[in-house]
Structure 1
Amino acid sequence: MLSSILANGNPGMRTNAAVSVSKAFKSTYTKKPLVLGIRREDKNRWERRVALTPAHIKRLIKETGAKVLVQPSNTRIFNNSSFEKAGALIEEDLTKADAILGIKEVPIEKLISDKTYLIFSHTHKGQLYNMPSLRAFLDKNIRLIDYELMTDEASKRRLVLFGKHAGYAGMIDGLHGLGQRLLALGYNSPFIHMGQAHVYPNLECVNTKLRHVANIISDQGLPEAFAPMVFTFTGSGNVTQGARAIFDKLPHENITVDDLPAIFANRYDDRYKNRLLALQVNAQDYLERIDGGEYSREEYRNHPERYRSIFAEKIAPYTTMLINGIYWESKYPRLMTTQDLARIQNQRELKNRMLAIADISCDIGGSLEFMSHASTIDSPFFYVDARDGLVEHKDIEKPGVQINSIDNLPTELPFEASQHFGDSLYPYAKALATGDLDNTVLRRAVICQEGSLNDQHKHLESVMAADQGFRVADNRRKSVLLAGSGMVSQPLVDYLSRSKDTDITIASNDFNEARRLAHQFPNTQAGILNILDTPSLDKLVKESDVVVSLIPAHLHTHIASAAIRHQKHMVTASYLSPEMQKLDQQAKDASVTIINEIGLDPGIDHCSAMKVIDQAHARGDKIKSFISWCGGLTAPENSDNQLGYKFSWSPRGVLTAGLNAAQYKINGSLRQIPAGQLFSHKFANVPLYPGFAFEGLANRDSLQYADIYGLQLDQMDTMFRGTLRYHGYSEILDCLLKLGFLNLDSKSKIDVASTREYMLRTLGLRKDATRDTVAKKAAKKLEIPLSDPLLNRLMLAFEEFGMLDSSVSNALDAPTALDAMAKVLQQALRFKANERDLVCMSHEFGIESADGRTYDVHSSSLTVYGDAKAGETAMARTVGIPAAIATRLLLEGLVKTRGTIRPTIPEIYNPLIERLELKGIIFNESSKRGIQNSLQRRMAWA
Structure 2
Amino acid sequence: MTKIGIIKEGKIPIDRRVPLTPQQAKYVKDNFDVEVVVQTSDIRCFSDDDYRNADLPIVDSVEDCDIILGVKEVPIDKLIPNKTHFFFSHTIKKQDYNRDLLRSILNKKIRLIDWETLTNENGNRIIAFGRWAGIVGAYNGIWTYGKRYNLFTLRRAHECFDYEDLKTEFKKIKLPNIKIALTGGGRVAKGAMEVLLGAGISQVTPHDFLTQRFDEPVFTQLNSRDYNKRRAGGDFLRNEFYKSPEQYEGDFLKYTRVTDLLIACAFWDPAAPVLFHREDIIKDDFDIKVIADITCDIEGSIPSTKKPSTIDDPIYDYNPTDDEIEQALTDEGNITVMAVDNLPCELPRDASESFGNELVNNVIPHLLGGDEKGVIQRATITNAGHLTEKYSYLQDYVDGK
TM-score calculated relative to the size of structure 1: 0.41
Larger fraction in helix: 1
Q: Deviations over 1:449-488 (max 9, x none)?
A: 122222212222122112xxxxxxxxxxxxxxxxxxxxxx
Q: 1:96 aligns with which of 55, 58, 64?
A: 64
Q: 1:451 aligns with which of 379, 385, 392?
A: 385
| Residue correspondence of structure 1 range 608-687 to structure 2 within 5 A | none
In structure 1, how many angstroms separate the alpha carbons of the residues matched to 2:38 and 2:59? 6
Give yes or no for contact 2:318–2:335 (8 Å, CA) kept in 1: yes
- Structure 1 pair 302–142 and aligned structure 2 pair: CA distance change class (3 A): closer
Counterpart in the other structure of 2:255: 315
- Structure 1 pair 81–439 and aligned structure 2 pair: CA distance change class (3 A): farther
Give yes or no for contact 2:127–2:362 (8 Å, CA) kept in 1: no
| Residue correspondence of structure 1 range 390-429 to structure 2 within 5 A | 390-399=323-332, 400-427=334-361
Please tell me the residue identity of whatever aligns with 1:364. Answer: I
Give yes or no for contact 1:64–1:433 (8 Å, CA) kept in 2: no
Give yes or no for contact 1:358–1:403 (8 Å, CA) kept in 2: yes
Please tell me the residue identity of whatever aligns with 1:236. Answer: G
- Structure 1 pair 112–38 and aligned structure 2 pair: CA distance change class (3 A): same
Secondary structure (helix, strand or coil) at the match of 1:463 reads: helix
Counterpart in the other structure of 1:193: 153
Q: CA deviation at 1:127?
A: 2.6
- Relative contact order: is structure 1 or structure 2 higher (C-alpha 8 Å, sep ≥ 6)? 2
Q: State whether structure 2 residue 228 is matched by structure 1 residue 295.
A: no
Q: 2:34 aligns with which of 34, 57, 66?
A: 66
Counterpart in the other structure of 1:859: none
In percent, how many aligned pairs have the same letter?
33
Q: Deviations over 1:713-756 (max 9, x none)?
A: xxxxxxxxxxxxxxxxxxxxxxxxxxxxxxxxxxxxxxxxxxxx
| Residue correspondence of structure 1 range 192-341 to structure 2 within 5 A | 192-210=152-170, 212-213=171-172, 217=174, 222-223=175-176, 227=177, 229-264=178-213, 272=215, 275-290=216-231, 292-312=233-253, 314-341=254-281
Please tell me the residue identity of whatever aligns with 2:299. Answer: G
| Residue correspondence of structure 1 range 447-526 to structure 2 within 5 A | 447-466=381-400
Give yes or no for contact 2:127–2:358 (8 Å, CA) kept in 1: yes
Q: CA deviation at 1:286?
A: 1.9
Secondary structure (helix, strand or coil) at the match of 1:410 reads: helix
Give yes or no for contact 1:152–1:159 (8 Å, CA) kept in 2: yes
Q: 2:101 aligns with which of 119, 126, 133?
A: 133
Secondary structure (helix, strand or coil) at the match of 1:458 reads: helix
* Root mean square deviation of aligned Cα: 2.1
Q: Deviations over 1:886-906 (max 9, x none)?
A: xxx6xxxxxxxxxxxxxxxxx
In structure 2, how many angstroms separate the alpha carbons of the residues matched to 1:56 and 1:442? 20
Q: Deviations over 1:863-907 (max 9, x none)?
A: xxxxxxxxxxxxxxxxxxxxxxxxxx6xxxxxxxxxxxxxxxxxx
- Structure 1 pair 260–92 and aligned structure 2 pair: CA distance change class (3 A): same
Please tell me the residue identity of whatever aligns with 1:447. Answer: I
In structure 1, how many angstroms separate the alpha carbons of the residues matched to 2:248 and 2:33? 56
In structure 2, how many angstroms separate the alpha carbons of the residues matched to 1:428 and 1:305? 33
Q: CA deviation at 1:368?
A: 0.7
Q: Deviations over 1:652-701 (max 9, x none)?
A: xxxxxxxxxxxxxxxxxxxxxxxxxxxxxxxxxxxxxxxxxxxxxxxxxx
Q: State whether structure 2 residue 130 is matched by structure 1 residue 163.
A: yes
Secondary structure (helix, strand or coil) at the match of 1:315 reads: helix
Secondary structure (helix, strand or coil) at the match of 1:318 reads: coil
Give yes or no for contact 2:304–2:318 (8 Å, CA) kept in 1: yes
- Structure 1 pair 315–45 and aligned structure 2 pair: CA distance change class (3 A): closer
Give yes or no for contact 1:374–1:406 (8 Å, CA) kept in 2: yes
Q: Deviations over 1:579-638 (max 9, x none)?
A: xxxxxxxxxxxxxxxxxxxxxxxxxxxxxxxxxxxxxxxxxxxxxxxxxxxxxxxxxxxx
Q: CA deviation at 1:120?
A: 1.2
| Residue correspondence of structure 1 range 722-871 to structure 2 within 5 A | none
- Structure 1 pair 242–261 and aligned structure 2 pair: CA distance change class (3 A): closer
Q: CA deviation at 1:123?
A: 2.2
Task: Work out the number of aligned pairs and report it.
Answer: 400
- Structure 1 pair 237–430 and aligned structure 2 pair: CA distance change class (3 A): closer
Please tell me the residue identity of whatever aligns with 1:92. Answer: D
Give yes or no for contact 1:202–1:413 (8 Å, CA) kept in 2: yes
Question: After the TM superposition, which of the residue ranges 358-367 and 322-331 deviates more from structure 2?
Answer: 322-331
Q: 1:146 aligns with which of 101, 114, 117?
A: 114
- Structure 1 pair 433–258 and aligned structure 2 pair: CA distance change class (3 A): closer
Q: CA deviation at 1:432?
A: 7.3
Secondary structure (helix, strand or coil) at the match of 1:278 reads: strand
Counterpart in the other structure of 2:282: 342
Please tell me the residue identity of whatever aligns with 1:378. Answer: D
Please tell me the residue identity of whatever aligns with 1:389. Answer: D
In structure 1, how many angstroms separate the alpha carbons of the residues matched to 2:126 and 2:33? 25
Counterpart in the other structure of 1:177: 144
Counterpart in the other structure of 1:610: none
In structure 2, how many angstroms separate the alpha carbons of the residues matched to 1:117 and 1:391? 38
Q: State whether structure 2 residue 52 is matched by structure 1 residue 112.
A: no
Please tell me the residue identity of whatever aligns with 1:162. Answer: F
- Structure 1 pair 144–305 and aligned structure 2 pair: CA distance change class (3 A): closer
Q: 2:2 aligns with which of 27, 34, 56?
A: 34
- Structure 1 pair 140–435 and aligned structure 2 pair: CA distance change class (3 A): farther
Give yes or no for contact 1:34–1:433 (8 Å, CA) kept in 2: no
Give yes or no for contact 2:367–2:376 (8 Å, CA) kept in 1: no
- Structure 1 pair 438–87 and aligned structure 2 pair: CA distance change class (3 A): farther
Counterpart in the other structure of 2:290: 356
Please tell me the residue identity of whatever aligns with 2:223. Answer: N
In structure 1, how many angstroms separate the alpha carbons of the residues matched to 2:374 and 2:234? 42
